[in-house]
Chain A
Amino acid sequence: MTHISPELIHTLSLLMILTSFAAVEARNLRHSTVAYLAQALLICGLLFAYSTQNSALLYWAVTALITKAVLVPWFLWNATAGHEQETKPLIGFGPSAVILIALLAIMYKLTHMHAGLFVAQTQELAEIANTNLAVAFTVFVLGLYAILTRRDAIKTVIGLCLLENGVHLSLVSLAPTIRETALAGIATEVVVTVYLLLYIIGGIRSKFGTTDTFKLSELHW
């Protein structure tokens, strides 16, 4: 079993948080897509790093590379062609930065105090697993934050992708020996969901003339 450097994991984890924040906060949708792509590559890097300890994760890493780092960014890139500027969000950069720091602190504290609730682990891997879970939950909540506070429909899809990334990252710590078929199912669904959502958003753009979700007001209580 090859030893994983905790410094490497911490660096990759920190970069994961930063790319999440960049994907949420970039006002240019293509810049957001690039930030998402960077995050996808980081996830693949993390999975490859973990696969030295658990070879089952190698399959997960390759699947993530194809789905998260190739297909989803490609769909997003096409969907934003000619419509690169995001509709102004509900909450701006400053408050978002404060919220991010608070979230990270809470998740770090929670996972380091209560990780036993989620996963049984050996002492030597505890720090890595706890950090990984803290990052995963932060990315998850940031994705949820983006869905709730961004007005642009495409940005909400990017939020959904972050949310899914958070869950998938947590799988590394929670269920590293999960079967390949289950992993393939989970990964495929994300890609298809994103594709269908962007397809429908394309229809929304042509009918409503905008992707501002606040303008979707045909259906009321």
Chain B
Amino acid sequence: MNHSAVETASVLPALVIFVPTATAVLIFAFGRFVSWLREALAFVGVTCALILSVIIGYKTLHGEILTSFETQLYADSLSALLINMVSLVSFVAVVYSLKYMWHQVKEGGLPHTTTSGRLTAFYGWLMLFISTMIWACLSNNIIMLYVAVEASTIASGLLVAFYWDKRALEAGYKYLMLLTVGITFSLFGCVLLYATGSNLPGVGGAKGLLISELKLHASSFPITTIILASAFLIIGFGTKAGVAPFHPWLPDAHAEAPTPVSALLSGVMIKVAMYALVRTVTIFYPTFSPVAMFALGLGVFTLVIGDLMALAQDDLKRMLAYSSVSQIGYILMGFGIGTQLGIYAGLFHMVNHAIAKALLFLAAGAVIYSTGVRNISQLGGLAKKMPITSFCFFIGALAVSGMPPLNGFHSKLALFVAGADAGNWWAVGFGIAASLVTLVVLLKAAKNIFWGKESEAVANTSVREAPLTVVISMLILAILCLGVGLYPKAVYPPIKEAASYVQTINTSNKKVAVAENPKVGKPNDRSSKKILKIEF
């Protein structure tokens, strides 16, 4: 752990979970009776969650670790980074939904007879989904981490099946079934860690449930237990994160869910699962570095598979979903490199992809909203009628592809530098090649949709720019992509601080990396010097 940080008992971690949960309860209770109430409640709830997350982020950045319920909820810089990411994308998704979902529920939805009933269900489950993701990022209890991650699956299950047509129902069934089976493996892993940890000298009893305690004693775990637990955790949380070959649920769910939910699924939910994976598995990096090598291999496999599958898609949302598989591969690659710079780059790409992919999904939703068409081949020449959406889509596409001067460029560059620095040239080679494929896939789609001759679907309908709330939410994310791209120093401190809470391997001597104070890094840790080079 970071020894310079001070643990402080605080109500904030509990409050940031409680607020969206209470909002959900109020929406379910009163949403049907007052037409504007559910939207107002959702907006207020998610805004409060965002403000609380920012406060937690500020405090953790200034040397505090906030804890609630003894240390069951634990907000260090890593958790704070994640909850800020979740709250920000959730805020944008809720703003986007305000007008968008009114339009969508006219075409159907959960088997409620009224528009009001459908919207109440939508906002209620949405707020529960947000609160469970925040809970997962703050849980220090390893079993409750599993419970929170699974709760986020449950809360989003009906959102995936929201349109209640054949495609949505099929996606919802696969989503709930595959993720529950997958995540059950992670329960085995969590229980194994607890069972072994609680029997170690100095841990014992309920302390064995705390990740912060297990991390301190990870070097005492038998290697066989480490291998078994890591395998279960990678299968379990990896399934939820969309890591190949456990990803088949992802394109279905992300494509068939309502667009604001797609933005949350691709933007943040898979990152929350990746966070759970990182929180648990990396505690063994100093003791048993082959775990990192396995993660690296899996990451590279995932980024290649995701990109190749994205190439073959004509459905716009499905193509973006496969692109998310690819980008989660990059993030896993960063964590698999395992050095301080690798972890830093993985976290940086996690944040950048959350912003850029949410933007792409929201822009895709705006296109579908205005044209009613989601096949790329049936679209064309939209830029004249939807200039802001066109601009936002191109920004998102270039950011995800890692083009300068956008945010994705910096994190991908950091990933490749980290890979090269650790001697993993083969991974860097695959990463660069896959990045080029991503660029081709996304720019080709953008060109077909927005440039050229107007297609029949675009010309024949009264297509125009999406409503104001939709445009505003897209612009917020587009500005963030540009802002972080042009001035990346602004986000270095929280990401660097968050990275200091993840254990690393040491590539310079292939031995145990320091677990005492990873924030500072050892004098011979080349990767820590690399961060300084990038920063200054």
**A58 contacts the other chain (CB 8 A):** no
A118 CA to B172 CA, complexed, in Å: 35
The interface bits of chain A over 188-203 (1 if a CB of B lies within 8 angstroms of the residue's CB, else 0) are 0100110011011101
Contacts of A193 in B (CB 8 A): 150, 153-154, 157, 176, 180
A178-B143, A186-B143, A204-B170 known; A120+B180 contact, CB < 8 A: no
Q: A197 and B165: CB pair below 8 A?
A: no
The residue that B184 contacts in the complex, of A167, A179, A208, with Cβ under 8 A, is A167
Q: B111 and A203: CB pair below 8 A?
A: yes
Q: A196 and B157: CB pair below 8 A?
A: yes
In this complex, the interface size class of chain A, counting residues with CB under 8 Å from chain B, is 35 or more
Q: B167 and A118: CB pair below 8 A?
A: no
The interface bits of chain B over 201-229 (1 if a CB of A lies within 8 angstroms of the residue's CB, else 0) are 00001100100000000000010110010
Q: A197 and B176: CB pair below 8 A?
A: yes
A218 CA to B315 CA, complexed, in Å: 13
Q: A178 and B157: CB pair below 8 A?
A: no
**B151 contacts the other chain (CB 8 A):** yes
Q: B191 and A170: CB pair below 8 A?
A: yes
**B436 contacts the other chain (CB 8 A):** no
**A181 contacts the other chain (CB 8 A):** yes
Query: Which residues of B132-185 are within 8 A (CB) of A?
Result: 141, 143-144, 146-147, 150-151, 153-154, 157-158, 161, 164-167, 169-174, 176-177, 180-181, 184
Q: A204 and B224: CB pair below 8 A?
A: no
A170 CA to B189 CA, complexed, in Å: 12
In this complex, the interface size class of chain B, counting residues with CB under 8 Å from chain A, is 35 or more
Q: B181 and A147: CB pair below 8 A?
A: yes
Q: A182 and B143: CB pair below 8 A?
A: yes
Pick from A147, A219, A221 the residue with the most CB of B within 10 Å: A219
A162 CA to B154 CA, complexed, in Å: 19
Q: A117 and B222: CB pair below 8 A?
A: yes
Q: B188 and A170: CB pair below 8 A?
A: yes
**A61 contacts the other chain (CB 8 A):** no
A117 CA to B193 CA, complexed, in Å: 11
A135 CA to B178 CA, complexed, in Å: 23
Contacts of A213 in B (CB 8 A): 173
Q: A181 and B192: CB pair below 8 A?
A: no
**B416 contacts the other chain (CB 8 A):** no
The residue that B194 contacts in the complex, of A153, A156, A175, A204, with Cβ under 8 A, is A175
A186 CA to B222 CA, complexed, in Å: 27
A200 CA to B465 CA, complexed, in Å: 35
Q: B173 and A200: CB pair below 8 A?
A: yes
Minimum C-beta distance from A167 to chain B (A): 6
A117-B228, A167-B188 known; A221+B161 contact, CB < 8 A: no
A193 CA to B187 CA, complexed, in Å: 15
**B198 contacts the other chain (CB 8 A):** yes
The residue that A174 contacts in the complex, of B150, B177, B191, with Cβ under 8 A, is B191
Minimum C-beta distance from B307 to chain A (A): 14
**B76 contacts the other chain (CB 8 A):** no
A201-B173, A219-B256 known; A179+B166 contact, CB < 8 A: no
Q: B188 and A219: CB pair below 8 A?
A: no
Contacts of A144 in B (CB 8 A): 181
Minimum C-beta distance from A164 to chain B (A): 6
A144-B181, A196-B154, A219-B171 known; A175+B195 contact, CB < 8 A: yes
Query: Which residues of A6-64 are within 8 A (CB) of B?
Result: none
Q: A182 and B170: CB pair below 8 A?
A: no
A186-B147, A189-B147 known; A203+B176 contact, CB < 8 A: no
Q: B154 and A207: CB pair below 8 A?
A: no
Minimum C-beta distance from B48 to chain A (A): 25
A119 CA to B192 CA, complexed, in Å: 8
Contacts of B164 in A (CB 8 A): 203, 207
Contacts of B144 in A (CB 8 A): 181-182, 185
Closest to B187 in A: A167
Q: B177 and A197: CB pair below 8 A?
A: yes
Query: Which residues of B222-259 are within 8 A (CB) of A?
Result: 222, 224-225, 228, 251-252, 255-256
**A163 contacts the other chain (CB 8 A):** yes
Q: B191 and A117: CB pair below 8 A?
A: no
**A4 contacts the other chain (CB 8 A):** no
A160-B181, A207-B165, A221-B309 known; A200+B157 contact, CB < 8 A: yes
A208 CA to B165 CA, complexed, in Å: 10
Q: B177 and A203: CB pair below 8 A?
A: no
Contacts of B206 in A (CB 8 A): 177, 179
Contacts of A175 in B (CB 8 A): 191, 194-195, 198
Contacts of B432 in A (CB 8 A): none
The interface bits of chain B over 309-323 (1 if a CB of A lies within 8 angstroms of the residue's CB, else 0) are 100100000000000
The residue that B177 contacts in the complex, of A120, A147, A164, A182, with Cβ under 8 A, is A147
Closest to A186 in B: B147
Contacts of B165 in A (CB 8 A): 207
Q: A189 and B209: CB pair below 8 A?
A: no
A185 CA to B169 CA, complexed, in Å: 26
The residue that A160 contacts in the complex, of B141, B180, B312, with Cβ under 8 A, is B180
The interface bits of chain B over 8-49 (1 if a CB of A lies within 8 angstroms of the residue's CB, else 0) are 000000000000000000000000000000000000000000
Contacts of A103 in B (CB 8 A): none
Q: A118 and B195: CB pair below 8 A?
A: yes
A182-B209, A219-B252, A221-B309 known; A204+B176 contact, CB < 8 A: no
Closest to A205 in B: B169
Minimum C-beta distance from B118 to chain A (A): 14
**B508 contacts the other chain (CB 8 A):** no
Query: Which residues of B110-144 are within 8 A (CB) of A?
Result: 111, 141, 143-144
A153-B173, A196-B157, A218-B167 known; A178+B209 contact, CB < 8 A: yes
A175-B194, A221-B309 known; A204+B169 contact, CB < 8 A: yes
**A104 contacts the other chain (CB 8 A):** no
A174-B195, A201-B173 known; A185+B143 contact, CB < 8 A: yes
Contacts of A153 in B (CB 8 A): 173
A196 CA to B172 CA, complexed, in Å: 10
Minimum C-beta distance from A7 to chain B (A): 26
A175-B195, A178-B143, A218-B170 known; A186+B158 contact, CB < 8 A: no
The residue that B147 contacts in the complex, of A171, A182, A216, with Cβ under 8 A, is A182
19 A–B contacts from the bound complex (CB under 8 Å): A117-B222, A118-B192, A167-B187, A167-B191, A174-B191, A175-B194, A177-B198, A179-B206, A189-B150, A193-B150, A197-B176, A200-B161, A200-B169, A203-B111, A203-B169, A207-B169, A213-B173, A216-B170, A218-B170
Contacts A207-B164, A219-B251 known; 7 new A-B pairs at CB < 8 A? A117-B224, A117-B225, A177-B198, A193-B176, A197-B157, A200-B176, A218-B167
Q: What are the 10 closest A-B residue pairs judged by CB atoms, nearest first?
A: A185-B147, A182-B143, A174-B195, A216-B170, A120-B199, A218-B167, A219-B252, A200-B172, A203-B169, A218-B166
